[in-house]
Chain A
């Protein structure tokens, strides 16, 4: 490790990066408002605010789950394919019937728990690195989905589509669902023993183990929760599309995008530091950026370039702030 940078690497130096993301969010909103106003448009319209929430809900829910996995020192690359799979499971079981909703949700939960269990067990019991384990599971799901389906399948009844499209005042139902998922995760992380264990395992698995934490169990539970979040996102997307689709998860790039959102929210990729609040900020930041670009009618490829730069730049800023502590675990 090279010499310390100019500032002290004491605990005070770790100004919570999760707060930084909200500052960045405010800056982006202001800048977007200014730019759109210059362009002769209106940015803070009801339509736009609802649009941002609509756009971010699915990614937001996945990213909350991804936050848990990353905090525990793991990560999940299988979420995108799991989203596709659960959207298909949901729409096929519902088959346009209201009576199918409950069994469909139950089946999605079952599939998600199963995938999460497999991820967790492969990582902990077979000691496969999370990157490879979840990539392998992703390939397995992809093969099954692509083998069985060529295009959209199943049908979601009208009543279930309320989840995707309705809103109460300025708040879409999907955003509320996201809020509920985020609140549950926040509660788990900050108010329960499980939460403390997640931070302990992510911080240093060996120390956690020696302190009596059953690290394997924590990682498995975390992956089950992460997969459940992906399943919820699958349900939400199915309700939006009115059917299940084999590419809905990968088209949205939910795997890498959710990881980017989590890291943008100040959670350390190495685990052990960060939280759900930052992730919510990260997802909103990406959605607001998207909305600004849409208003300015910016080329979608240019959007990708800016998004890439923003993600790297943000993490570079966090790395400066956290200083040496961030790299000590190597």
Chain B
């Protein structure tokens, strides 16, 4: 928890700044609307955290989200009765994609950056091959409830967040961190490294599926729904002080990082820095935040901070 403090402080400052600009934010409805908006990214960040802390990357989550939403729209096609089977199918797709990512990375020993980059191409190619280039069909009202109704979205988020925190407190969480910290030492002390990493990818796939269900309800069907989400999720995780390359950081901090990123977007909007310059501010802040984090412990982690992180993959 102590390591999550800096990001929580930053988050508090940002939330206060939003509240000053927009008092509605202090009311439960206003605040919960913000939480609902942040929920997909927070869930994705939790999934990405598992992968990153084990020393890998998952670049496929953005296109996985798109695939899930497009698949849901085509299969449901406005038919209420199809909602629940399709929801189950989406979860299965997420788990499967994660499993493939994990197996290719661990058994075939392809660096995860490449595995998930390839998966990104395959997923987005396959889904639009299937639908003929553009999303078709429509989501059912029941499906959209999860992302649209604040209560449901917040509940889903809470369940996922608690589950993520519990996973990291369990033995699995420790082995995952150990794997990311020093693969060899972990293997020698009996951790099944490949299995732990594969499970991390499966969790990331699951998180992407849940995020897609929320986003589909919230934002509707489009071919761009997941665009860039992989980078946003990785950014959020890193903002939370989790080190690329693995072995450092907590899942709470990663989720706080996602809230911070979302708060940053909200704030930039409120102060009228909307549109393109938002990206510039975002870029500067990401670099500054990570630099500030890295400068604190330069001597404890000399190589990890630099280009060595993807060496683990």
Instruction: Collect the chain B residues with CB atoms within 8 Å of residue A130's CB.
Output: 306-307
Cβ B275 vs Cβ A2 within 8 A = no
Q: Is B284 an interface residue (CB 8 A)?
A: yes
A329 close to B110 (CB less than 8 A) = no
A1 on the B face (CB < 8 A): yes
Q: Are A137 and B283 in contact (CB under 8 A)?
A: yes
Point out the residues of chain A lying under 8 angstroms from B294, CB to CB. 126-129
In the assembly, what is the distance between CA of A155 and CA of B154, in Å?
51
- Does B287 lie within 8 Å of A132, measured CB to CB? yes
Given A311-B118, A311-B121, A319-B110, the answer on whether A146 and B279 have CB atoms closer than 8 Å is yes
Q: Is the interface of B mostly helix, strand, loop or mixed?
A: helix
B290 touches A305 (CB 8 A): no
Does A307 lie within 8 Å of B109, measured CB to CB?
no
Give how many A residues have a beta carbon under 8 Å from the other chain's beta carbons: 60
- Asked if residues B311 and A311 are in contact (CB atoms below 8 Å), the reply is no
Residue A122, interface by CB 8 Å: yes
A73 to B312, CA, bound (A): 12
The reply to whether the CB of B81 lies closer than 8 angstroms to some CB of chain A is no
In contact, B122 and A309 (Cβ under 8 angstroms): yes
- Interface residue? B278 (CB, 8 A): yes
Give the residue name and chain of the A residue nearest to B194 (CB). Answer: A2
Do residues B298 and A127 form an inter-chain contact, with CB atoms below 8 A? yes
Chain B hits for A2, CB < 8 A: 187, 193-194
- B121, A305: Cβ atoms under 8 Å? yes
Residues of A within 8 A of B311 (CB): 73, 270-271, 329-330
The answer to whether B287 and A319 touch across the interface, beta carbons within 8 angstroms, is no
> Which of A260, A308, A330 contacts B312 (CB under 8 A)?
A330
Q: Measured between alpha carbons, how far is A16 from B303 in the docked complex, in Å?
A: 27
Known: A123-B306, A271-B311. A139 touches B194 (CB 8 A): no
| Complex Cα gap A234–B287 (Å) | 25
B-facing residues in A156-199 (Cβ within 8 Å) = none
Residue on B with the closest CB to A302?
A: B129
Smallest Cβ-Cβ distance to B283: which chain A residue: A139
User: Among A72, A75, A128, A137, which residue has its beta carbon within 8 angstroms of that of B290?
Assistant: A128
| Chain A positions 290-330 with a Cβ under 8 Å from a chain B Cβ | 299, 301-309, 311-312, 315-316, 319-320, 326-327, 329-330
B contact residues around A230 at 8 Å (CB): none
Q: What is the size, in residues, of chain B's interface with A at 8 Å between Cβ atoms?
A: 64
Nearest opposing residue in chain B for A268, CB measure: B111
Query: A304 to B128, alpha carbons, bound, how many Å?
Result: 10
Are B307's CB and A140's CB within 8 A?
no
Is B290 a contact partner of A309 (Cβ separation < 8 A)? no
A127 to B289, CA, bound (A): 11
**Contact pick for B124, options A142, A259, A304, CB 8 Å:** A304
B126 engages A301 (CB within 8 Å): yes
A103 to B245, CA, bound (A): 43
Tally A-B pairs: CB < 8 A. Answer: 202
B140 CB–A CB distance under 8 Å: no
CB pair A308–B118 under 8 Å, yes or no, is: yes
CB-defined contacts of A73 to chain B, threshold 8 Å: 306-308, 311
Contact between B280 and A143, CB atoms less than 8 A apart: yes
Q: How far is the CB of B207 from chain A (nearest CB, A)?
A: 20
How long is the Cα–Cα vector from A272 to B264 in the complex, in angstroms? 38
Task: Give the docked Cα–Cα distance between A205 and B145 (Å).
Answer: 52
Please determine whether A132 and B235 come into contact, CB atoms closer than 8 angstroms: yes
Rounded to whole Å, the gap between the CB of A157 and the closest CB of chain B is 29
Chain B residues lying within 8 Å of A311, measured Cβ to Cβ, are: 114, 117-118, 121
Contacts of A38 in B (CB 8 A): none
- Bound together, the chains give a CA A304 to CA B126 distance in angstroms of 8
The answer to whether B160 has its CB under 8 Å from any CB of chain A is no
Q: Does A89 contact B (CB under 8 A)?
A: no
Q: Is A144 an interface residue (CB 8 A)?
A: yes
- Is the pair A305, B122 in contact by a Cβ cutoff of 8 Å? yes
Question: Does A303 lie within 8 Å of B125, measured CB to CB?
Answer: yes
Q: Taking A137-B283, A142-B279, A269-B313 as contacts, is the C-beta distance between A205 and B128 under 8 angstroms?
A: no
Could you tell me the distance between the alpha carbons of A205 and B126 in the complex, rounded to whole angstroms?
40
A206 at interface by CB-CB < 8 Å: yes
User: Which residues of chain B (270-295) have a CB below 8 Å from chain A?
Assistant: 275-284, 286-287, 290-291, 294-295
B310 at the interface (CB under 8 A from A): yes
- Contact call B121/A147, Cβ cutoff below 8 A: no
Given contacts A309-B122, A326-B109, A330-B182, whether A127 and B291 have CB atoms under 8 Å apart is yes
20 new A-B contacts, CB < 8 A, other than A73-B311, A263-B114, A316-B109, are A2-B187, A73-B307, A126-B287, A132-B238, A133-B290, A136-B287, A137-B283, A144-B276, A147-B275, A147-B277, A147-B280, A202-B307, A256-B120, A299-B129, A301-B125, A301-B126, A301-B128, A311-B117, A312-B104, A316-B104
Q: Give the 6 A-B CB pairs with smallest separation, nearest first.
A: A143-B280, A304-B125, A308-B121, A139-B283, A146-B276, A73-B307
Offer 12 A-B interface pairs, CB within 8 angstroms, sorted by A.
A73-B307, A75-B310, A131-B244, A132-B238, A132-B290, A135-B231, A138-B283, A140-B279, A146-B275, A301-B125, A315-B110, A330-B312
